Structure 1
Amino acid sequence: MEVQAITRYARMSPKKMREVARTIQGRKAPEAVDLLGIIPRKSARLIAKTLKSAIANAENNANLSADSLVVKTAVIENGPVLKRFKAAAKGSAAPRRKKMSHIRIVLADGNN
């Protein structure tokens, strides 16, 4: 059985988040939570929050044990982009693109 959790509009660029998301794919859920706890990055905190939500969904909605869960996929999708401008030299403006991400974590029962 598969269970998922989604965090939408996370204020971090997808490229930065994908670096961390790749490290947890295929790992057991409790091991992935521990690993994300020691990675000193904002993206690790956001992904850990989503992973804990997916584990809670599995325990409460599907009656699965957290110890038997495996991270099947951890996908970071592109969200909307906030387009802003910052003052630059000689009265001009430099564009800033503030990117957002959508985090999707799918857990599968490891017994299958």
Structure 2
Amino acid sequence: MEVQSLTRYARMSPKKVREVARTIQGRKAAEAVEFLTLVPRKSARLIVKTLKSAIANAENNNNLSADSLTVKSAIIENGPVLKRFKAGARGTAKPRRKKMSHIRIVLSDGNTSN
């Protein structure tokens, strides 16, 4: 059975979040949480929050054991972009693109029946 959790509008560039998300795919869920707590990046904190939510969803909604769960996929999607301007030289405006991410984590217990 598969369980998922979704964090939307995370204020971090999807490229930065994907670098960390790639490292946890295929790991046991508990092992992935331990690994991410040691990674000194903001994206790791965002992913571990979503991962803990997915584990809680599995335990409370589907009566699954946290020990049997593995990270099937960690998908980082592009969110909306805030378009801002900052003052530049000689009175010009320099554009700033503040990107957001949607973080989706899918956990599986190994059984294929849904």
Structures share a fold, TM > 0.5?
A: yes
The residue aligned with 2:30 is 30
Identity percentage of aligned residues: 82
Correspondences of 1:1-112 after superposition (within 5 Å): 1-110=1-110
| Cα separation, 1, equivalents of 2:111 and 2:90 | 64
Unaligned runs of 5+ in 2: none
TM-score, with length taken from structure 1: 0.98
Runs (4+) of structure 1 moved beyond 6 Å?
none
Q: Aligned residue pairs: how many?
A: 112
Q: Please, what is the CA RMSD of the aligned residues?
A: 0.8
| Cα separation, 2, equivalents of 1:111 and 1:34 | 24
| Matched-pair contact (CA < 8 Å) for 1:71–1:105 | yes
Unaligned runs of 5+ in 1: none
Q: How far does the alpha carbon of each residue in 1:51-104 deviate from its partner, in whole angstroms, 9 at most, with x for none?
A: 000000000000000000000000000000000000000000000000000000
| Cα separation, 2, equivalents of 1:67 and 1:110 | 12
